[in-house]
Amino acid sequence: MKAFFFSLLLTGAAALANAQSANVKTAMDGYARFGQGDIPGILATLGDNIVWVHAGNPAIVSFAGAFNGPAGVGQFFEKVGATIQVTVFNPTNFSENGNTVHNDVHIEGTVLATGKTFASDMAMTWTFDPAGKVTRWEAAGDMSTLEAACAK
């Protein structure tokens, strides 16, 4: 009986995952890949002309600003890894409007150079081309705690 119940749970979870559009699934998978450190997996979902924008003052936060092309996005992730240790990363509230997926993310972590902690709530937007490649990603929100944690 227990195996049957577990099988029903898996079937329900699979149906829920299949109910998501391809674009929402790509965004959700992107966060899962980030959590696993699979940056090549994220880069594989990007269009050649991707524009990747993260809120914040680039003079204070190394990974703030705009990054262009998959190589630029790779640099973004290198800077993230060299700058912060993420301790909480919770994406929620996924919604879709045409070729755009929106979601919220609560993130907490420690800035490696200062040892200071931060917590931010952000709104993230993914824009897709007709082939399902990400053409723009943007993270917006109050970066004051991150900027304060980066300040020496």
The CATH number for 58's domain is 3.10.450.50
pLDDT cut 90: percent of the chain above it:
85
Tell whether 11 is covered by a domain.
no
Tell whether 6 is covered by a domain.
no
Tell whether 68 is covered by a domain.
yes
Average confidence (pLDDT) over 29-52? 95
> How confident is residue 152, by pLDDT bands cut at 50, 70 and 90?
confident
Tell whether 130 is covered by a domain.
yes
Provide the number of structural domains found in the chain.
Answer: 1
Instruction: Tell me what the pLDDT averaged over the chain comes to.
Output: 89
Contacts from 63-67 at CB under 8 Å and sequence distance 24+?
64/143
Residue 112 has phi, psi (to 5 degrees) of: -65, -40
Tell whether 7 is covered by a domain.
no
pLDDT digits (tens, 9 = 90+) for 89-102: 999 999 999 999 99
> How confident is residue 20, by pLDDT bands cut at 50, 70 and 90?
confident
pLDDT digits (tens, 9 = 90+) for 98-124: 999 999 999 999 999 999 999 999 999
Tell whether 17 is covered by a domain.
no
Tell whether 87 is covered by a domain.
yes
Tell whether 31 is covered by a domain.
yes
- What is the extent of the structural domain holding 57? 22-150
User: Do β-strands 65-68 and 46-54 pair in parallel, antiparallel, or remain unpaired?
Assistant: antiparallel
H helix intervals, 2-152:
2-19, 22-36, 39-43, 69-83, 144-150
